[in-house]
Amino acid sequence: MKNITYASPTRLLPMVENDPSSTTSEVDENIDKVASLDAESEDKLDQELDRIRDRRENPGKSFLVNTIVPKTFDDYTLVFGVMTGLVFFGMITLASSGLILGDSISIDDTLSGTPLDPNDCVDRRGEVWIKSWVQGDDLEIESHNLETSSTFGILVAVWNESSVESDGGVGEPTLTMGESGTGDLSIELNSDDLEDGHYIVRIGILSSDSDSREWSEEEIVEAVESPGSLISFKELEIELHTSSSSSLFGSGETHREMEKSDEETRACMTIQDMGVWGWILMGAEWVGGRETAMLTGGNAEVPPWYMATISLGMSVFFLCVQYPLMHRLYHRETDDLLTTEQMNRLLVRTIEKASKRLHIKPNLSSIKVQDRAISVDVFLPYNTSRKTIASPIDVKGTIIKDILNEFRIFGEMRPLQIKTVCTDSDTESEETIDFSELGEIRLSDDYSSFFSSMGQFGKLEEAFRESMSRWFRKHDVADYGSAILADEDAVFVRVIYRPVTRFAYFLFKPTYQHLQGDLRKHLGNDLESGEAMVAKRGGIPGALLQNPFMGDILSSVEYVAHKNRKRIDKYGFWGLIVFVWIPFMASGVLVGAMLGLVARMRFQRVLAACFIGGTAASITWAYTARGIIEVMHKYHAEAFIPFILLLAVGFTWLKIRDNKRFRREELFKDSMAFFAGASDT
């Protein structure tokens, strides 16, 4: 929605060819009628605004403002969210500390092997056991539960399957490895040390008399062929093969793949392990979204029901706490929404009151207002009087402060952009100064305007110097003469540079055109002149949501919500569920809640849709994450799992940054065009 209107438009009366006296009387009569209609319209708008103001300023016993007793559904939702957060985060903190039942596996052991977790787990507490897994093309091996004060050795022997006899005897091993140390040990079997084929791997752990002992091939073979003398023993098979098949990352490329087969069952997670993984999953979801958390947990064989529980706990907390706060901050009843006429009248009467204090004369017939979904833009020309002592900067600041105060009362959260223009210079040439009335001569205005403009240009030059110093360091060039000149319409920059690099004629690659384009972009980013202000809200919602950190997040959420509003307007409740469920980037429960606010859906319907969609998304990702990872293994992409996780985090950050930039561009682009057109007229 974008409306460009005159706040108080003038009316041209029709011209008729009649007797001059009768024409004059008819014109006077028409002027009186128009004035009467204008007065009646303004009185009606003032009454409507006063009623809205009264409702906004006297909301009764508002929760957390005038009383701590919940009154409405959103109040109870906020209380439920806070209590849920205390219980949820408290349980994760207590579990990760290991203070209560930290070594218990009862939860994981009970739920494993059920529909909630089809894969079974075994109790490995108090026993030394060996874990092995394929990482990339190599076999990773590590021990668990060895005493940290004792010295041990981990031994590995590899035989080609063809060298193993039918009676269990073995020939010469293809490869042997051994490591010594204290506590748990780890060792890596590199696939480059083996040719393609089938192999049998035997792993053993035994006590050692030194943490730096060198193990001979005979000692390793003798140890692993006698498992009874070992603290722990494990045997598995691996297969190595090279293929040139198509994959997700290319076609016709050569891949070396290792496949492991054994009967190893997942170890049951203790309560403390669950608490630690709870924080890991929450951190991954906060940084990179639900998808990143699920892939991280799935790769580590975290039970799917636990990943879904953590994701749902976060969703319930943030939805039930932040959505009621956002609802209180952004939502207004239908009767409290300002129409374009009401917005224009509110701006005009606020400007009139401020002008009386400032002793200026606003040109009400030339005020222009652009009423958009993402901002309110105001163009205000005015004249000074002999009593005016405020500078143009003070005039603009005072008017902005008064308008934002009115926006706060009326619950208007859109950014305000205003341009005030002193038109004295335009009218002075048409006026004849009457030297008999010295009181009409104005001196202070001219000098205040002069000195205020000097101050503005001084700040601009200071910012220019700081920006240019960064630009010179960025391109490794020296400043041999840079200057800035500015007026009300444009900024002119002169830069003389010299490369610092030795043999610059051959080694300095950037061209003049490249540096000129980069300088224009650099200064454009650093010296942006656009400014938009939002009314500050008090109370708990304002303190929690109107800080720089949350402001960036909410502005990005609001931008995405506005961009997707047509979908919700078309599909309604079910469309909102699908939007939250399907893993679009930045389509979580908070974006869905903001989308419901923008679409003016009922609080309960938005809450229900976000709950259903968020629950479906958490369960879907939790129970498909392991399958996704297995598919990646199948297509030789397992080495890219960490890269994909980092890519998801980076993409989320870039998405938030781009949303912020696009919102800013959309906010200021139309506004600058509006102000330019208003100035021309």
pLDDT of residue 95: 92
DSSP for 350-415 reads HHHHHHHHHTEEE-GGG-EEEEESS-EEEEEEEEE-TT----HHHHHHHHHHHHHHHHHHHT--S-
pLDDT of residue 476: 81
Q: For residues 408 and 529, what is the distance between their CA atoms, to the nearest angstrom?
A: 25
- Residue range 127-267 in CATH 2.60.40: yes
Burial class (CB in 10 A: 0-12, 13-18, 19+), 445: buried
Q: For residues 262 and 265, what is the distance between their CA atoms, to the nearest angstrom?
A: 9
pLDDT of residue 355: 92
Torsions phi, psi for 475 (to 5 deg): -100, 5
Cα angle: 480, vertex 485, 491; to 5 degrees: 110
CA neighbours within 13 Å on the CB side: how many for 394? 15
pLDDT of residue 84: 93
Strands (E), 221-276: 232-243, 255-261, 266-267
pLDDT of residue 205: 92
pLDDT of residue 42: 83
Identify the DSSP state of 237.
Answer: E
Burial class (CB in 10 A: 0-12, 13-18, 19+), 475: middle
pLDDT of residue 82: 92
Burial class (CB in 10 A: 0-12, 13-18, 19+), 406: middle
* Whole-structure pTM value: 0.56
Enclosing H/E stretch for 292: helix 271-299
Q: Which residue has the tokens 């906010």?
A: 667
Q: Which long-range contacts (CB under 8 A, 24 or more apart) does 22-27 make?
A: none
Q: What are the per-10-residue average pLDDT scores of the chain (681 residues)?
A: 48 45 55 64 86 77 70 87 93 91 88 87 86 82 89 91 64 88 91 88 90 87 86 89 57 70 81 92 82 80 90 91 81 77 91 92 89 84 90 87 87 82 61 45 44 49 72 80 58 73 72 78 63 55 54 62 70 84 68 77 89 90 77 60 64 68 67 72 66
Q: Which residue has the tokens 């239908």?
A: 334
Identify the DSSP state of 441.
Answer: -
Q: For residues 163 and 151, what is the distance between their CA atoms, to the nearest angstrom?
A: 33
